[in-house]
Structure 1
């Protein structure tokens, strides 16, 4: 219990620091001081800041998976899943502008994948869409959503991502179901198509 408390404290204070300053200006010494712990306590829990960042993204992805709601639209699901990013814009921007850019991109891509795979599979239950097409449709939307969010992080972050996501939803309304229904009429795939 004490171990979980300390890890949560370290994580919270690390995010707080990243919301105020760039990552290369954050040190383990400063983080330990903010947590009222010794440096060795940090190293008892984490080998380095890289391990801490990886754990943060892993835990946030677990939250996305656990909080997925079957009754929500993909737009609402995506906005809910992006809560961590939206609440910590500066921290995410600082990570993206550091050596951890790939970690941010991987997290966003995985998050979008969780949402779109579950949503498309749910919609597909009312169709006879082919499995490969279900995967292709989910992958297409995963790429589109994650690219949009990464572009938002990479630029000024001034546009409202919630408003943008809702507008995309209105523009694309019904396209997922329509695509799945089109799959029913397509011939089976003769080549080995794989979606990883």
Structure 2
């Protein structure tokens, strides 16, 4: 863009320079070049011709100065500005790409962290469930063992109590029969009678 602008200025100046140099000659050669009542256009006056020539010379000098000094500087400034803008745009594009990449990495890390946290929560819940299940099974087994042992002890105590009760019943029956009848009954007869009575009562 800077080069095209400088080139356009140079082309316009190169077109105007010959025209400016040829203008005094064309004006002086034109018929009726002398204007009545306008001394600044009286080209028969050497002063007017000198002014026109000096104007053309000054224009040419200004053109040469501009084309050799000012225009290259303007072009250099425009080129530097364009390069700076391009560099800034490249930096901005890279920064945007890095920011987009960082955002994508952040979203990925967030999703990974959430998935890992959910997996840890699920693992903790499953471990707690299995631990509770094992504790329940151990407690049930221990309770079953204790219940079985208690039932065994109760059965043994019941058997022992029934044995003692039958012995007491045998002795009591013998004493009652002896007191009522005045005679003694054989122990085996009393035992069979007590056993029959206990069986009838479900003892």
Structure with max Cα Rg = 2
**More helix by proportion, 1 or 2?**
2
Give the TM-score, by structure 2 length: 0.22
- Report which structure shows greater RCO (CA 8 Å, sep ≥6): 1
Give the TM-score, by structure 1 length: 0.23
